[in-house]
Structure 1
Amino acid sequence: MILLDALNWIAENQSTFFGAFRQHLVMCATSLAIGSAVAIPLGFAVAHSPRAAFAAVNLVGAFRAIPSLAILAAMLPILGIGFLPSVVALVVLAIPPMLLNTIAGVRGIDPAIIDAASGIGMGRRERLLQVELPLAVPPIVAGLKTASIQLIGGAALASFIGGGGLGDFINTGIAIMDMARLLVGAVPIALLAIATELLLSGVERLVKRQG
């Protein structure tokens, strides 16, 4: 059985497998952290300006139409191969869903709530931290969930530019026509995506209940 062969390969090559697994997680976590640091503040910055929000949404929409592999390939002549260009490419992949959800979350706040906050003397910073941010958290978490799942799958393509990770097993399996080796990379990626979906869906539900 092919799956059993894959499990046997993992058992016999644990250091190689878990090294690639850690590399995959580090790429995804680093890209998500950088993407969040860019997308969420930017989303709050442009959400209050209809023109800026419109421009940001359309620009991000254009980026989302670009295939992940094309983004990775575009990094080659700029940054070469390895971990850094892989992370940069994945950051570009992670930003759109988080930015769009942040803008949607802020623009979806009832203006009467903002007016009430201003009416009781809250300054811009206080409104942001005490009113807008808490109310926008559920859409932001949804954006984080979408970005995380996209990154887990997209990171498999980083193997094409020397990023390492579980994608190496997929590429090797394709190259040598070894389905078991392909599954060594594909199955953990699928399980990781499912686990992330379940975890962040739980966080999303918890945030909505708390809200």
Structure 2
Amino acid sequence: MDDGVKRTDEMKSLIFGCDFLLKNNEDESFTYFHEAVGIERYQYKPIDADSIYPFLLVNIGTGISVLKVILVTIVIGFDDLLLMAEKGDHRKCDTLVCDIYGGSYENLNLPADLIAGSFGKCSRIGKHSYARGDYEHQITEADIAKSLLLMISNNIGQMAMLYGTQFSMKRIYFGGFFIRKHPITMRTLSYAINYWSKGSMEALFMKHEGYLGAVGAFLDTN
């Protein structure tokens, strides 16, 4: 009996697992609509196995390292950070289109609440606000967490859209440690894909998104 450890390719395993689950579990993938209520937010998307391709898989895990950082909140756990972000107001940190133009910029079709610069207000709001007692505009850790999440999600969404455009893809599946069915991550990624693609692409999430690599590795070694 050969009970040794077998090595498999990480990316290959993720693709094998995603492909297998989409083909064999009809309610595996879903879209997220934040404006809906309760379970109606989760719209499952059965896909015909014969028309599954092409699709883009974006796995957002722990493969990106940022060194020499400072802690922007007292929260250390990722789940706690996302819960904190739910309560935040990014408009206190971010510069919006309305902050520049006084409202929407119709010539470029830019809505008033569109982020023009992440953390753009932080250079103006800080010790000076505290010094003059301007408590209304003080930034909380929840606001910082929300702004950070939106900055990351918007950048991921734009990159995913660009890759999808390059290969003429309409469906983009998201998975990895970053998602884990947190409503705020699914909401921000869905918004980013819809905005950057002008509604031509769809952000989808997977019921077993945390197990794609494990399923794929099992299939690859058996």
Q: TM-score, normalised by structure 2?
A: 0.25
Instruction: Output the TM-score relative to the length of structure 1.
Output: 0.26
- Relative to its length, the structure with more strand (as a share) is 2
Q: Which has the higher contact order (CA 8 A, sep 6+)?
A: 2
